[in-house]
Amino acid sequence: MPSLNLPDDEELIRRFPSLAAPLAHPLDRRRTLKLLAAALATGTLGGCDPGTPTKKMVSAVIAPPGIVPGQPNRFATAHLLDGYASGIVVTHYMGRPTKVEGNPLHPASLGATDAFGQAAIYDFYDPDRAAAPMARGAPTDWQSIETAFETLRTHLAARHGAGAWILTGTVTSPTIGAAIDAVRARYPEARWVQWDPVSRDAVRAGAVLAYGRPVAAIPHLDRADVVLAIDSDLLESAPGHVRFGREFAARRNPARSAMSRIYAVEPTPSLIGVAGDHRFIANARDLPRILQAIADGVLHRPPPADAPDWIAPVVADLLAHRGRALVHLGPHLPAEAHALAFALNEALGARGATLGLVEPVEYAPAGQGASFADLLQGMEAGEVSALLVLDVNAAYVSPRFAAALPRVPLSFVLAPFADETAHGAAWFIPQAHDFETWGDARAFDGTASILQPQSLPLYGGRSATEVLSRCLGPTATTPLAAVRATWKAQLGDAQAWHDALADGVIPNSASRPAEVRLRPEAVRLSVQSPTASAIEVLFRPDPAVWDGRYGNNAWMQELPRPFSKIVWDNPLHVSPQMAAAHGLRNGDEVLLRMGGREARLAVWVMAGQASETAVALLGYGRTHAGETGNDVGANLYPLREVSGDVSITRTGRRVPIARTEHVDASAADPDDILRHGTLDEFNRDPHYLQQEAAGPALYRHVPPGKVAWGMSIDLNACIGCNACVVACMAENNVPVVGKDQVLRNREMHWLRIDRYYEGPSEAPLTLLQPLLCQHCEQAPCEVVCPVEATVHDEEGLNLQVYNRCIGTRFCSNNCPYKVRRFNFHDYAGLERRPAISRNPDVTARGRGVMEKCSFCVQRIAEARIAADRDGVPEQAVTACQAACPTRVFSFGNLHDEGSEVVARKHSPLNYVLLPDQNTHPRVTYEARITNPNPAIHA
Amino acid sequence: MNDAAPLFPVVAPGETQASVTDKVSALALREQAWLWWWIAFLPSLLLLIIGIGAVAYLFYDGVGVWGIDWPVMWGFALIGYVWWIAIASGGTFISALFYLLRVDWRTSLNRVAESMTLCAAACAGIYPILHLGRPWLFYWLFPYPNTMVLWPQFRSPLIWDFVALLTYIISSILFWYQGLIPDFATLRDHAGRRFHRLFYGVLSLGFRGSLKEWTHYRASYAVLAAIMAPLVVSVHSIVGLDFAGGLTVGWHSTQFPPLFVFGAALSGFAMVLLLVLPLRRLMHLEAYITERHLDVLGRLLLTCSLCLGYSYAMDAFTTYYGPDAADRTMFGTRLYGEVAWVYWGTILFNITLPQLMWFRRVRLAPWPVWVICLLVIVGMWLERYEIVITSLRRTHLPSAWGNFHVTAYDWATLAGTVGLFLTGVLLLIRIVPVISMFEMRGLVRRKP
């Protein structure tokens, strides 16, 4: 038996600094007992009130209006990424939010979401969210926070705000903007810095260079016949990317519309580059030169002699589609490049056709990098005496900020997690989740939405408006009052307010078109290429944890990255050429040195990456993310802060990299699995990819039901954004398993997106294929299950009856598509998210049970009930289908000749996966067609 | 080249009915076990205890403690099951098939062989239950009236397998026990200690050796033998169908049932030799287990090895002759992938090495035969590794390719079954007559 070691006082104080004061004054026994009794009494009373607003509490003898047990309620709100809103509708059961869907009425959503939006539920219920305020990293009480604000107000008033700074992310919210303005009006010397770790400064500055003032550019991909995307983030993270995905896909299936042609020039694979027709691979430092050459061509100037030979046909194609062409640049290119792109678009007649220019969406557009540098300088010089940080994890991103933060005497941090910045600040205030408070925000086109609370605060956080109003006086404005005040003019009357909440959009709030003229000098701008270094390191946000804010979100951590399929890690992506030159293999640990700083991390050889490019993914190596996200991967932000020579040296160690593609299958030929061809071939014979090899059947059983559920998956539309994968996890309570289990090939995703390469790894054709249970009519899994745990219903669903399953796992062996997942351990029980966050309509599976895609059978049951009750036709939307920005999935009744799924199954591109297996799947695919320029020799 | 050689006698000259009874019953009625017995027994028991520990943790934490994964959903449990059930076949082949064929050399071997069968079948029998994700529900495989109003899925090869295995195990126990009844009666009558008289008396079920009893006994024994002989073929065919019944790459092959029967016979005879060779020496049974037996078993081993070689060749032929690209890809990984050593180990141990049995000098040399048999047993394990795991690693879709990462629990469970087998065999040879006395007496009587 280990002896009971009571820590001594020093040890206690080290662990719990807040105990320092009481331990300094020892108490006698009598006084201790008195205090204990008082604590017991007050604690008991306190337990009655979970910190909810003080209102009348009546037990629910009469059910709350609108809440019917077992029936979902849906409320519109918005999800923010770097300040920009995308409309969502949150599904509730008995008052608890369980699922996010897109808001069809919202212009940035059109009914779809991205992966981040789907994962908001996980964040909302995250048990690691901060529940208590902190002082210098140690827990404190709310009273101390009030006192601190008192001090702050005195301080601000005495100096008119001199030395006081407010640090926020990009603000599009009129209410928060107004609250900040109010603070700055009261204390005119106070300064406001907007700063996001992943900067879009160049886009802003480019617009200013081109038009003399900030404007927001809105591409219309559905109107563009030819798109030139240079290192573009149009489909993954540009504000409005969910909508752009829809517009992109509208022009990608030749069976339904005239195909657009997408050229991408990029150093590392992007969603649009992979989904497009031509991918020209170039190091980032060569992009300005390439852009210049294209501009010269378009503007009829003599092109430089050393321009790559594909530039001439691309320029010719752009010029041939005047008014239907579009050039888009990613945020990593310099401002001059963006200005030149504006000039190019004007020259191509894009403005007003494929490109709209509107008044800026941000509350106060500003160059973020420069003002953050000012703040850093001020902090380091000791000139910053008060700092209010609203949900920016600057200490994690910037080691300089982290070092200087303790020198700010009055630093207040508002954040949903007690993150790295919170631990360095004098005062930390837990932030209410967007689902817990009132707010507003604008979308990429300026359309505003009200963010309405979806739940009472789970952990009692405060909102940004409350905290800002504390700077003005002791009584805080409630967030609701602040939002209503902002929208008094438009939404003054109750009906308008109600409608705006119900719709999730505020009518006519979109930005007006900007009346600007291109400055003539924009055309003559020359773009400077950065100085050459042997290895160019690009710092990019991670596709799943973004700038690090989703670090504690297990759904995002275990989300396979679109092309590498890596999870739970951020190895350095090196090009195949660089790997060959340095003798690097996947999983080799390297020391990445840059300007005196270094990081130790594994390498991953990224096919299709430019030869001298290494991509460092940001957002990892968190130390205060929470139990899930701490110490996952390496933090590469410190290297971004410095510049200098780059070196990569092997340490000799090998590091396992968890991926959901467990064996490198890049040599395998995907020809029949993922059928693809060119538009020319398609035009010659639209059915040319349809040669089926379905053999004769001895016993062909066709499910006899009135309804026949089926799905069609359009490979032309899939961009690999992963929204469907997270949506499936959220809808179907699919557990995460953790890095060690993924390393042992045991991930649980019901829906996966397969990635195949064709061609050399230096420049492969990348092909994506969403794969889920194919719901075979002749399902091989069913006949081998000895206990009939997997059976067919008459509507054609291949059902998995969890309670019957004894775990022989023969069904998985016999599944040609390998879509079945097995609970090797009690994954659902081991998950860190609380049970109340799960979808109550879907069983959580226990240990030893097989599971797989059910076509969202719970939604089908809902449709069936509605049909029985109201006589309406059965219509169901699966979770993946609902989330997909590009409408890859089409699901419905195959007996309904008018349905979209039937129309898609009649497409000449329709084919069955592995037809020789004679499984007769209910899921079919539409083959991928690319539209390459015949003038460019691949 | 062997035809010219004289046949060795089945029993050493000079053995009488009385000497058979005396010698063999003395072995079972010994007061103290041999030293070698303890030296073998204690490590076996240790292995068994390790296995029990591994299984206890398996029940506590789930099959995730093993190396199975996606897509390799079957692993050591299935390998172990097929391996042990194949080993078990040896006893049934010898005691049932060769009983029906009235072969005289069978008499010396059938008791050891059947005891071996029993222990191997026990090892095989526990694996399917351990294999389950929810082992406590294994009885749902029985077709019994239940509250779920559900019959098992009779189209599933696993149900066929369950029925075949259960039938086989029960029949093996009955066959073994029935063969023992007259010998138990002999031991009861020869026992000096009261404990032995009681113990063997109860086991002999009141057998007194009357003419009527013998008449019934012989008739029913023949019937059981007639049931057992086809059963051993059917159980291995059905084990083959466990795989062939699936669409899985590498499994979907019509030749699997005979392939599994050949493999079973090979490993069965190898295990019989593996046990008989040391026992013959340690228990001084040279008079009953003569060179003749070694010769016969060696020839049988060689025959099975040739049959199996044919099956292996056909496996490769149909793969490359057939149209399935996934099959070819998978077979390529067998031949020259990272686990190619498994395939080539299989060929070396099961096909190449047993060719030494063509030589009479090798067949009669205990040590080389013993080593070859041991390697055959290992080779048969490798063959099942190749069928179960190598096949599953490479499926139709390259995106679902995976590998298998064996864990300590896989090995511990395997070691546990080895421990169970050895412990069982050692206990049985200690308490039951290692040679069927009444049949040996008959043999001696017929061949003075």
DSSP secondary structure string for all residues of A285-339: GGHHHHHHHHHHHHTT-PPPTT--TTHHHHHHHHHHTTTSEEEEE-TTS-HHHHH
Query: Hey, are the CB atoms on B134 and A807 less than 8 Å from each other?
Result: yes
Per-residue model confidence as pLDDT tens digits over B48-72 = 999 999 999 999 999 999 999 999 9
Q: Give residue B357's pLDDT band: very low, low, confident or very high (50, 70, 90).
A: very high
Instruction: Please state whether B62 falls in left (phi above 0), alpha (psi between -120 and 50) or beta.
Output: left
Q: Is the dihedral of CA A333, A338, A344, A345 positive or negative?
A: positive
Q: What pairing do the DSSP bridges indicate for beta strands A261-266 and A613-618? A: unpaired
Query: Hey, are the CB atoms on A814 and B155 less than 8 Å from each other?
Result: no
Structure tokens at A307: 């321009």
> What 8-state DSSP symbol labels residue B168?
H
CB A601 within 8 A of CB A633: yes
B69 chain-A contacts, CB cut-off 8 A: 744-746, 824
Q: Give residue A18's pLDDT band: very low, low, confident or very high (50, 70, 90).
A: low
The Cβ of residue B374 has, within 10 Å, a number of other Cβ atoms equal to 15
- The whole-number average pLDDT for the span A432-438 is 93
pLDDT value of position B102: 86
Of A294, A470, A301, A482, which is closest to residue A388 (Cα–Cα)? A470
d(CA A837, CA A871): 33
CB A172 within 8 A of CB A146: no
**Rounded to a whole number, what is the distance in Å from the CA of A632 to chain B's nearest CA?**
23
Q: Which of B150, B246, B403 sits opposite A662 (nearest CB)?
A: B403
pLDDT value of position A2: 47
d(CA A764, CA A605): 13
Query: Hey, are the CB atoms on B158 and A810 less than 8 Å from each other?
Result: yes
B247, B393, B403, best to mutate vs chain A, most A CBs in 10 Å: B247
Structure tokens at B157: 């090869």
B60, B61, B70, best to mutate vs chain A, most A CBs in 10 Å: B70
pLDDT value of position B2: 45
Consecutive H or E run containing A280: strand A278-281
Residue A246, pLDDT > 80, answer yes
Residue B218, pLDDT > 60, answer yes
Q: Give residue A441's pLDDT band: very low, low, confident or very high (50, 70, 90).
A: very high
Q: Which residues contact A691 (CB under 8 A, 6 or more apart)?
A: none
Per-residue model confidence as pLDDT tens digits over A247-301 = 999 999 999 999 999 999 999 999 999 999 999 999 998 999 899 999 999 988 8
The pTM (predicted TM-score) of the whole model is 0.91
3-state SS string for A419-472: CHHHHHCCEEEEECCCCCCCEEEECCCCCEEEECCCCCCCCCCECHHHHHHHCC
CB A707 within 8 A of CB A876: no
- The whole-number average pLDDT for the span A855-866 is 94
pLDDT value of position B345: 95
CA dist A786 → A637, B121, B125, B389 (Å): 54, 22, 17, 21
The Cβ of residue A684 has, within 10 Å, a number of other Cβ atoms equal to 10
Q: Minimal Cα distance from B74: which residue of A?
A: A809
Q: Minimal Cα distance from A770: which residue of B?
A: B399
Residue B73 near chain A (CB below 8 Å): yes
Give me the amino acid identity at B322.
G
Residue B4, pLDDT > 50, answer no
CA within 13 Å, CB half, B369: 31
Q: Which of B156, B162, B324 sits opposite A783 (nearest CB)?
A: B156
Residue A687 near chain B (CB below 8 Å): no
In this structure, what are the phi and psi dihedrals at residue A260, rounded to the nearest 5 degrees?
A: -85, 170
Give me the amino acid identity at B219.
A
Q: Which of B70, B138, B401 sits opposite A806 (nearest CB)?
A: B138
Structure tokens at B363: 């067949």
d(CA B232, CA B403): 33
Residue A315, pLDDT > 80, answer yes
Q: Minimal Cα distance from A848: which residue of B?
A: B133
- The whole-number average pLDDT for the span B176-201 is 92
% of chain A residues with pLDDT over 70? 94
Q: What pairing do the DSSP bridges indicate for beta strands A410-415 and A427-430? A: parallel
User: What distance lies between CA A412 and its chain's CA centroid?
Assistant: 27
**N residues, chain B:** 448
Q: A752 pairs with which residues across the strands?
A: A771
Residue B101 near chain A (CB below 8 Å): no
Chain A from 879 to 918: CB within 8 A of any B CB: 914, 916-917
CB B42 within 8 A of CB B53: no
The Cβ of residue B408 has, within 10 Å, a number of other Cβ atoms equal to 11
Q: Give residue A62's pLDDT band: very low, low, confident or very high (50, 70, 90).
A: low
Residue A745 near chain B (CB below 8 Å): yes
pLDDT value of position A916: 87
Residue A468, pLDDT > 70, answer yes
Chain A from 758 to 817: CB within 8 A of any B CB: 769, 771, 780, 782-788, 804-810, 812-814, 816-817
- The whole-number average pLDDT for the span A372-390 is 94
pLDDT value of position A70: 79
% of chain B residues with pLDDT over 90? 76
Structure tokens at B274: 């593996």
pLDDT value of position B47: 97
d(CA A518, CA A525): 12
d(CA A705, CA B352): 57
Of A916, A896, A912, A784, which is closest to residue A850 (Cα–Cα)? A784
**Rounded to a whole number, what is the distance in Å from the CA of B413 to chain A's nearest CA?**
17
pLDDT value of position A127: 92
pLDDT value of position A300: 82
User: What distance lies between CA B179 and its chain's CA centroid?
Assistant: 18
Q: What is the rounded average pLDDT for all residues in chain A?
A: 91
CA-based angle B271:B276:B278, to the nearest 5?
A: 110
CB A614 within 8 A of CB A648: yes
Chain B from 103 to 142: CB within 8 A of any A CB: 131-135, 137-138, 140-141
A751 chain-B contacts, CB cut-off 8 A: none
Residue B71 near chain A (CB below 8 Å): yes
pLDDT value of position A367: 86
Give me the amino acid identity at B320.
Y
Residue B153 near chain A (CB below 8 Å): yes
Residue B337 near chain A (CB below 8 Å): no
Per-residue model confidence as pLDDT tens digits over A520-531 = 888 888 887 777
Residue A826 near chain B (CB below 8 Å): yes
Counting one residue from chain A and one from chain B, the pairs whose CB atoms sit within 8 A come to 165
Instruction: Please state whether A766 falls in left (phi above 0), alpha (psi between -120 and 50) or beta.
Output: beta
pLDDT value of position B3: 46
CA dist B352 → A521, B21, B372 (Å): 83, 42, 10
User: What distance lies between CA A427 and its chain's CA centroid?
Assistant: 29
Q: Which residues contact B294 (CB under 8 A, 6 or more apart)?
A: B273, B277, B363, B364, B366, B369
Per-residue model confidence as pLDDT tens digits over A383-420 = 999 999 999 999 999 999 999 999 999 999 999 999 99
Residue B146 near chain A (CB below 8 Å): no
Residue A752, helix vs strand vs coil: strand
Give me the amino acid identity at A262.
I
A663, A913, A917, best to mutate vs chain B, most B CBs in 10 Å: A663
Q: A264 pairs with which residues across the strands?
A: A229, A279
- The whole-number average pLDDT for the span A894-919 is 93
% of chain A residues with pLDDT over 90? 78
d(CA B281, CA A339): 95
Per-residue model confidence as pLDDT tens digits over B241-300 = 999 998 899 998 899 999 999 999 999 999 999 999 999 999 998 888 988 899 999 999
- The whole-number average pLDDT for the span B85-99 is 89
Q: A539 pairs with which residues across the strands?
A: A616
In this structure, what are the phi and psi dihedrals at residue A757, rounded to the nearest 5 degrees?
A: -110, 145
B403 chain-A contacts, CB cut-off 8 A: 662-663, 745
In this structure, what are the phi and psi dihedrals at residue B341, rounded to the nearest 5 degrees?
A: -60, -25
Q: Which of B162, B324, B397 sits opposite A673 (nearest CB)?
A: B397
d(CA A135, CA A143): 12
Residue A48, pLDDT > 90, answer no
Structure tokens at B264: 């079973």
CB A90 within 8 A of CB A455: no
Query: Hey, are the CB atoms on B399 and A754 less than 8 Å from each other?
Result: yes
Instruction: Please state whether A920 falls in left (phi above 0), alpha (psi between -120 and 50) or beta.
Output: left
The DSSP code sequence of B243-306 is HHTS--TTT--TTHHHHHHHHHHHHHHHHHHHHHHHHHHHTT-TTTS-HHHHHHHHHHHHHHHH
A786 chain-B contacts, CB cut-off 8 A: 140-141, 152-153, 156, 158-159, 162
- The whole-number average pLDDT for the span A126-154 is 91
3-state SS string for A706-733: CCCEEEEEECCCCCCCCHHHHHHHHHCC
pLDDT value of position B316: 93
Query: Hey, are the CB atoms on B69 and A771 less than 8 Å from each other?
Result: no
CB A655 within 8 A of CB A648: no
Residue A112, pLDDT > 90, answer yes
In this structure, what are the phi and psi dihedrals at residue B19, rounded to the nearest 5 degrees?
A: -65, -35
Q: A230 pairs with which residues across the strands?
A: A265, A329
**Rounded to a whole number, what is the distance in Å from the CA of B16 to chain A's nearest CA?**
54
**Rounded to a whole number, what is the distance in Å from the CA of A795 to chain B's nearest CA?**
21
Q: Give residue A453's pLDDT band: very low, low, confident or very high (50, 70, 90).
A: very high
**Residue B18 burial (C-beta neighbours within 10 Å; 0-12, 13-18, 19+):** exposed
d(CA A556, CA A751): 15
Q: A263 pairs with which residues across the strands?
A: A228, A278
Of B107, B77, B182, which is closest to residue A808 (Cα–Cα)? B77
A807 chain-B contacts, CB cut-off 8 A: 63, 132-134
Q: Which of B63, B69, B246 sits opposite A744 (nearest CB)?
A: B69
The DSSP code sequence of A641-693 is T--S-EEEEEEEEE----BSS-S--TTS--TTTS-EEEHHHHHH-TTTT----
